[in-house]
Each structure stands twice: as structure tokens, then as C-alpha cells.
A and B are shown apart, each in its own frame.
Chain A
Amino acid sequence: AQTVTQSQPEMSVQEAETVTLSCTYDTSESDYYLFWYKQPPSRQMILVIRQEAYKQQNATENRFSVNFQKAAKSFSLKISDSQLGDAAMYFCAYRSQGAQKLVFGQGTRLTINP
């Protein structure tokens, strides 16, 4: 079974600075999808960014980008120009190709210092 590990329970960053959240996963599959979700206090999970494993190019969404290292099974999230509204729990998630369920990591709590 696939597992997802987030080794940083908490991270903090100064407003306008850059922060990187780490995620590693374990799988024997070659085709899969990786995601980063944000969960604010409202509890709603919000998709931040998605990466297809077959794509070598790292995904980018405005201030959010990933560093996808397939051989190392690593999928980190970089947030540039951090804003107060970025403060939340961040979850890394894995989905097998052809499957519907997501496997989530334990989460990283991100604090933005003004």
C-alpha cells in the first residue's frame, strides 16, 4: 500500500518570504498523481496544486510551485511571497492511476509571521 510522509509537523515563515514544505511517498507504481491541499480552520480541503507523475515539468500555480523528484519519491511545495492568508494546514496526497481514493500525509501546520 502507498504511504505519504510529511516530516515537518510545523513550519513558520515571515510574510513575503519563501517557504518549502516537504513530502515523500512510497509506491511501486510508475503512474500516479500527487497533490497538495490546504486546510484552513474552516476544515474545507482546498486543492493547491497537482502533478502527474508522467510529466517531468514541475507544476506551478501562481505563487505555488512543486519540486517533483520521481526517483527520490519526493514532492515538495514551495510558497513564494508568503501571505497571511496562506496560514493553514497543508496536506500532501497521492492517488494511483485508475483509482479514486486519495492517500494523505499527516499534514504540516504553516504559520505566517507578519
Chain B
Amino acid sequence: DAGVTQSPTHLIKTRGQQVTLRCSPKSGHDTVSWYQQALGQGPQFIFQYYEEEERQRGNFPDRFSGHQFPNYSSELNVNALLLGDSALYLCASSPGRFGGTGYTFGSGTRLTVV
């Protein structure tokens, strides 16, 4: 049973560019949440997708946007990249919006902005 799959695992982008990160949730999970983990920090909530709509959003600018597809997979898009966007981006899936213990994380995408 595959868990949460994220791609790519590593990515290097130039300041000002745009990036798309992808996430396939665990089988049976329909909700995807995205987190940003900067070096030395805990994960910070970006947003959550359920039924193909953004349901909740953390304190992140509009440069961060997302999408959820009918098969529950999700994309995170970041426009006009800044050096400060360099971080590990984690996708978490859950069976329903209030995942609690059902929250399963992927291994993350390491984004480096140069």
C-alpha cells in the first residue's frame, strides 16, 4: 500500500521563476494539505484541499496556489520565487478534512531557490 508520494524529490529554481510540486495521496485518502518546513523550523500550514476546493489557508501570500484533481492528487504552485521560499515542502493526506491521526506525510520536495 503506497503512502503519500511527492515529486520531484529535489528541485533548484532561480529567483523569479515559477514552480509546481506534485502530490499523490495515500490510497483511501481524499484530503490533501500542504506544509512548508524551513530549515530549523517545524512545518507550517499552507493550505488544504478537499473536494477539489481550497478549504483552509494558512498565512501565506497569493503567490502560493494549489489545485486538487478528481483523483485526489494535488499540485502546489509557487510564482515569483523568492530566496526565502527555499524549504522542504511536505504534502499530507487524510481521510476527510479532520484527519487527526489519519494524517500521513510524504517525504517532501526540497526546493532550493538561487
Determine if chain A interacts with chain B: no
